Structure 1
Amino acid sequence: MPMPHHPHWPPGLPLHLTLPATNLFDNAAVSAHRYPDKPFLIYYGAELSFAAFHDEVTRLAGYLENVCGVKAGDRVLLYLQNSPQWVLGYYAILRANAVVVPVNPMNRSDELAHYVADSGARVAIAAQDLLPQLRDHLNPEEQSEPALHHIVVACYRDHLPSEEQEREAPTGLRLPDFVAEPRAAIEGPGLHAWRDAIAAALAPGPLTAGPEDLCVMPYTSGTTGHPKGCMHTHRNAQSTGVGGMHWFARTQDAVMLSVLPFFHVTGMAGGMNGPLFLGATIVIMSRWDRETAAELMQRHRVTSWQAISTMVVDFLANPRIGEYDLSALNGIRGGGAAMPEAVAAKLKALTGLNYVEGYGMTETLAATHINPPQRPKPQCLGIPVFDVDSRIIDPTTLAELPQGETGEIVTHAPQVMQGYWRNDAANAQAFITLDGKRFLRTGDLARIDEDGYFFMMDRLKRMINASGFKVWPAEVEALMYKHPDIHEVCVIGALDPKRGETVKAFVVLKPERMGQVSAEDITAWAHDHMAAYKTPRLVEFIESLPKSGTGKIMWRELQERQAELDRG
């Protein structure tokens, strides 16, 4: 049945997309066969061809199987910054018929404990700069309690230009300190140096995982205190990786700047999986740097860039931005937070390009809605992409609402997860059945305009959007309750001119500690125990938290009080 958005569909594209019925790893094998000598990864001047990528992935998979004991269906943690090793590790885990558990490199030891315990992972791949956070959870002798038995440790510098290459042709690029760090000695039970794993040249067994087997399990939080694993199959991953490339008419000659984090589903699908399927080249940055980004765009003739609004704001604020040749750019896309119209206008004046926004979730492994590139609307989620059935319902009655009314987005699509890992209660709340089909409840409130475009209006879920990162207050609160001086805490969102929203904590101290602990003390402690983007930037001490008659903390009252302050 024709839908209101069909007249605005990207020209020449079908409404239905046939997906590869294969393991995601097959995309690496196919591209290595088709384009063996073509660069796949470019990392601060060093290039890795598709053939070399395939070879290193296969060697690492052999080591995971033969030395670390990884078996089909095992979960393996992947804990690095954006780097060639992140991509290599991801596909090596898949080649070993296992399941990738991507972990935010900003997560600290306390947060990692849940990932290890909940996923049941016994093996991890980590970077040497992050090893101190993960090492607390390594216990090769422990057979019953949750613990890691093996960690393969990578050094980013191993995939930079060699010292000889740098002498002959200096790149002149500014490197993050952790990327330039020399290789450290890796010693101790259960620890394995990446270089040794590759040098061992062990062969993996047959590739047996198929399209319906689990592929990747990113974690997301919500109204409860602990993150939940989203179970995605190889078919789910093919849907967003392949679909995104077709939507934007990308070809194997595309050169993409991959600076959005690979652990996040947007960077994973659009900055890694999609380009590998095509045989396109990705230029990797481990940390955002506006001058390095502009230099890489100019040097490598970057054609497309995925970004969040805060990156674009910083990029345009570079006083030297007009000196760079950005003429190869033919597409800039993103999501996570709406792009301010003034910023989008400035970007278009510089590049001649519209910023094309989209919408997705960890539960959908990236986008379910994207603006048509030829007809985007500003501050808009876009239209449902290939084979996506999205509707607006009344969140209470679950009745479908007419065009123009605000309600909850529910989605039936090939990229929707199979469910939350070992969490039947959460699954019961996350899914409903409409017209005989299973729909995911997003918790996001939106409306559909007369052209079938979706516009975000509000959120049902209690969530803070800080620079595009989702912060779930319940998770932050659960971590903050470990502070020895905190009696009670409630976390809300506050307006921030740069981040959009920031994290604020209302703290009730234990009686004997009142007047002896500062807001700075709380923030410093939080920074040591959780990812930086979750850390409360604002702390307000209060004598007691507002509570309902049943004793439940009334966070909405505090949120509304803060909103009044933000409005001035």
Structure 2
Amino acid sequence: MSYHTHPWKKYYPPGIPDNLRIPDISLIDGFNRIAELYPNQPALHFLGSTLSYRQLLQLSHQFAHALIREGVQQGDLIGINLPNLPQFLIALLGAFKAGCRVSPISPLASVSEMKEQILNCRAKILVTYDTNYKEKVFQLAPKLPSIKKVIVTRPLDSLPSIKQLLARLFRKLPFPEISPLPKGKMVLFFPFMEGCSSEDPLVHIDPRNTAVLQYTGGTTGVPKGVVLSHHNLVANIHQSLPMLAPEEGKEVGLSVFPFFHSAGLICALTALLTGGCQVLIPNPRDLDHVIREIKKYQPTLLFAIPLFYEKMLDKESFRALDFSRLKFALSGGTAFPSLSIKRLQELIGNRVLEGYGMTEAGPAITCSPPDFPIPGSAGIPLPLTDIRIVDLQQGKSEVPVGEAGELIVRGPQVMRKYWNHPQETQKVLRIYEGKTWLFTGDIAKMTSEGYIIICDRLKDMINVNGFKVFPRDVENQLLSHPAIQHCAIIGVSDPQQPGSEKVKLVVELAKDYSDRDPSLLKEMLLQYCQEQMAPYKKPGFIEFVEALPLTPLGKVDKRLIHFFYGEDLKEGAC
């Protein structure tokens, strides 16, 4: 058995050809087709209001014409700094229709992070919302020479006036003052489009043109703009369709992934190109609201990270929902703990699919085959996706099937380059077997059946006296212990043996254990580790913390874990 024989193909749903055809179209070509076929179908639901495909199409046309009226040229970049609001999709589609590129900017980004991204991508227009405008953009705008106009919206601006009024009266959301910028540089979102035609601007878009500059820490940690073309994203959508088999014009999707993240963006675009209806979730931390939306709209597809599902499973109101219309619950972003995935399967049936991806690959690379999911694996490569697993030292030779190495990927979804980072591009887009492959920086192994098991990030691997310790492997074992709510395994330098490391465990305790004696808890956990894992994997240090830092996506933030707890070997030492 070898990687070249593509053993995973036998688990594809029936009817997938080896030469799956990717249409040579732009994202806008795909959206226009759907809007023409299903004009009266709901495109999105947001806080009780609905936009049809016809309405979304017309609003996107108006936004495109407003950009053109503003002097925006084809190829200019539009920064979108919004949560999951209808305005995000209007601006996204409108920018594409004007021939522009888009760079999503996290609403959670700091002032310095926003400045760095906008200066790097040279955005000409920035779309933001009232709170971020007041707290960040107002002070930042004079320092951004490329920005010609700041477009500001309030989160509820797309709703009927009466709902906006009631929300303001009952103080459902903050209502900060929106101060003007000099020289009329600031304008409100919907007034910006006033007087503009709702007809198609008819700007030709080559599928090979850049669609998105998606910023990511990537495989090397420094935020970089991943250059994804219309073709990259259209390809990634069509690669996923055979696995999920959505019925065009009939699906209802609910995703808690933010649009500014590559996973959230591809979920949104997939819905728009298949005639699906999206239930927008502006605040995924409001679990009660999400449960009400699931109950009201009964989605056929759910998209979330494992932590979200775990929190939902603890709520009786979620467990009481009717999931009869749900086809699949998809999980990604990080590994799904085995006990948690079993609980979800018991609730909704064997319809939990796991996937793996990265921004540099559109992002989807693998997905569980619907008829043969294996919990704990990342599934199998998507159609037209080829993978190899190569040695960790130089990446020049394949490791035997079943052994761990660096995962490398080829496929039509793989990015063109990092924006303005040629050296970083050369590090990850490298020649192997005479072709260009994406070196993911992830340690993985492939089973004899072709399933991919993600072990860890290459940079997180711990060297204990020459033994390789994969933190994710140890974390997954520890999460089975009832005392542990969340945990992180990191390597810290071993002062006794220069060049080697010790394993450190950072623990957020479960509620029922938070008032127990720390020394007794450490003894209990060490005993558990001794029984469950090899001696070299056993933590040499344990530190209890009130809460582990999380990324905006809800994953444990290893960068901050290393920063705050990486070199403190005295406190919490066993």
TM-score, normalised by the number of residues in structure 2:
0.78
Matches of 2:509 and 2:269, distance apart in 1:
30
Tell whether 2:144 aligns with 1:148.
no
Instruction: Name 1:207's counterpart in structure 2.
Output: 203
Give the deviation of 1:224 after TM superposition.
5.9
Matches within 5 A, 1:433-444: 433-444=431-442
Instruction: Name 2:280's counterpart in structure 1.
Output: 284
Aligned residues: 489
Q: 1:248 to 1:146 in 2, by over 3 A?
A: same
Matches of 2:397 and 2:558, distance apart in 1:
35
Instruction: Name 1:42's counterpart in structure 2.
Output: 45
Matches of 2:10 and 2:221, distance apart in 1:
43
Q: 2:355 aligns with which of 351, 354, 358?
A: 358
Instruction: Name 1:92's counterpart in structure 2.
Output: 94
Secondary structure at the counterpart of residue 62 of structure 2: helix
Contact conserved, 1:431 with 1:439, CA < 8 A, in 2?
yes
Q: 1:339 aligns with which of 336, 343, 360?
A: 336
Give the deviation of 1:235 after TM superposition.
0.4
Matches of 2:380 and 2:363, distance apart in 1:
14
> Which amino acid letter does the alignment assign opposite residue 19 of structure 2?
H
Secondary structure at the counterpart of residue 444 of structure 1: strand
C-alpha RMSD of the superposition: 3.5
Tell whether 2:62 aligns with 1:59.
yes
Q: Deviations over 1:316-335 (max 9, x none)?
A: 11133343223221110021
Instruction: Name 1:117's counterpart in structure 2.
Output: 119
Instruction: Name 2:497's counterpart in structure 1.
Output: none
Q: Deviations over 1:185-241 (max 9, x none)?
A: 563331111111222315774322211110001011257664110000000011222
Q: 1:5 aligns with which of 4, 8, 11?
A: 8
Secondary structure at the counterpart of residue 397 of structure 2: coil
Instruction: Name 1:316's counterpart in structure 2.
Output: 313
Q: 2:180 aligns with which of 179, 182, 187?
A: 187
Instruction: Name 1:239's counterpart in structure 2.
Output: 235
Matches of 1:146 and 1:228, distance apart in 2:
20
Secondary structure at the counterpart of residue 371 of structure 2: coil
Q: 1:260 aligns with which of 257, 260, 267?
A: 257
Contact conserved, 1:261 with 1:267, CA < 8 A, in 2?
yes
Q: Deviations over 1:60-105 (max 9, x none)?
A: 11111211x2211112111001111111111111111111101111
Give the deviation of 1:444 after TM superposition.
0.4
Secondary structure at the counterpart of residue 366 of structure 2: strand
Matches within 5 A, 1:357-376: 357-376=354-373
Which runs of at least 4 in structure 1 moved beyond 6 Å after TM superposition? Answer: 164-167, 463-466, 531-535
Secondary structure at the counterpart of residue 110 of structure 1: helix
Q: Deviations over 1:486-526 (max 9, x none)?
A: xxxxxx99645489xxxxxxxxxxxxxxxxxxxx9xx99x9
Matches of 2:103 and 2:201, distance apart in 1:
21
Q: 1:565 to 1:7 in 2, by over 3 A?
A: farther
Instruction: Name 1:380's counterpart in structure 2.
Output: 377
Secondary structure at the counterpart of residue 5 of structure 1: helix
Give the deviation of 1:11 after TM superposition.
2.5
Secondary structure at the counterpart of residue 230 of structure 1: strand
Q: Deviations over 1:367-402 (max 9, x none)?
A: 111110111111111111010111000132311122
Tell whether 2:448 aligns with 1:450.
yes
Instruction: Name 2:422's counterpart in structure 1.
Output: 424
Instruction: Name 1:301's counterpart in structure 2.
Output: 298
Contact conserved, 1:157 with 1:183, CA < 8 A, in 2?
no
Contact conserved, 1:32 with 1:50, CA < 8 A, in 2?
yes
Give the deviation of 1:19 after TM superposition.
1.8
Of the structure 1 ranges 6-15 and 436-445, higher mean CA displacement relative to structure 2 is found in 6-15
Q: 1:19 aligns with which of 3, 7, 22?
A: 22
Q: Which consecutive unaligned segments of at least 5 residues does structure 1 have?
A: 168-173, 474-491, 500-519, 542-554
Contact conserved, 2:131 with 2:176, CA < 8 A, in 1?
no
Matches of 1:533 and 1:57, distance apart in 2:
36
Q: 1:224 to 1:455 in 2, by over 3 A?
A: closer
Give the deviation of 1:260 after TM superposition.
1.1
Instruction: Name 1:512's counterpart in structure 2.
Output: none
Matches of 2:411 and 2:190, distance apart in 1:
41
Instruction: Name 2:141's counterpart in structure 1.
Output: 138
Contact conserved, 2:66 with 2:192, CA < 8 A, in 1?
yes
Contact conserved, 1:408 with 1:446, CA < 8 A, in 2?
yes
Contact conserved, 2:302 with 2:328, CA < 8 A, in 1?
yes
Residue identity over aligned pairs, in percent, reads 26
Give the deviation of 1:160 after TM superposition.
2.8
Instruction: Name 2:214's counterpart in structure 1.
Output: 218
Q: 1:292 to 1:457 in 2, by over 3 A?
A: same
Secondary structure at the counterpart of residue 238 of structure 2: helix
Q: 1:105 to 1:535 in 2, by over 3 A?
A: farther
Instruction: Name 1:171's counterpart in structure 2.
Output: none
Matches of 1:431 and 1:178, distance apart in 2:
50
Q: 1:540 to 1:213 in 2, by over 3 A?
A: closer
Of the structure 1 ranges 218-227 and 334-343, higher mean CA displacement relative to structure 2 is found in 218-227
Q: Deviations over 1:93-131 (max 9, x none)?
A: 111111110111110111111111111112111111211
> Which amino acid letter does the alignment assign opposite residue 56 of structure 1?
L
Matches of 2:391 and 2:233, distance apart in 1:
30
Secondary structure at the counterpart of residue 187 of structure 1: coil
Give the deviation of 1:165 after TM superposition.
10
Contact conserved, 1:153 with 1:186, CA < 8 A, in 2?
no
Secondary structure at the counterpart of residue 141 of structure 2: coil
> Which amino acid letter does the alignment assign opposite residue 278 of structure 1?
T
Q: Which consecutive unaligned segments of at least 5 residues does structure 2 have?
A: 462-470, 476-487, 491-502, 511-544
